[in-house]
Amino acid sequence: MTPYELRLAPLPCWAHLPTAAVRKKVAQLVAEIEAEAAARHEELGTEPLGMKKIRNQDPLSRAVKSKRSPKPLCHAASNEMRERVRQLYRGFVEMFREASLKVKFGKAAEAIFPKGSFPPSLPFVRTGEEFDPLADAGGSRSFALTLAATA
């Protein structure tokens, strides 16, 4: 373990106070934090881990179960709307990939990128309206027909 020197300075809002007063304020804050933690442990029926258990933990390990869930693709008012956005996004990606492959294989003239996309080495495709795979030419017909059937 490599030792490091750590120099402490009072908080700027306490810089005008004498050292003894700063120490007293810090001690009061620590006492408040300890009291809140003790009350929380009492309420939940838990105990602090303790120094030995904390030091034995791997600092690079991840929690087995996270308290957080993955972020949603979008925020929507209903599950149906969220699914619709998911379908539209998949259509957008599919159209973009098809057009990118056409550009990659020398058929740039046939490549039609979806509105709102940033085509590789081509100008930005302007958008002023929402993405509609049925109205955009060059999109995947199979996806457009599937989407039309579910709408």
Q: What is the pLDDT of residues 27-48, one digit of tens each?
A: 999 999 999 999 999 999 999 9
CB count in 10 Å sphere of residue 81: 12
Domain boundaries, the chain: 15-52, 79-150
pTM for the predicted model, two decimal places? 0.41
Rounded Cα distance between 127 and 113, Å, is 11
Per-residue pLDDT band at 137 (split at 50, 70, 90): very low
pLDDT at site 66: 80
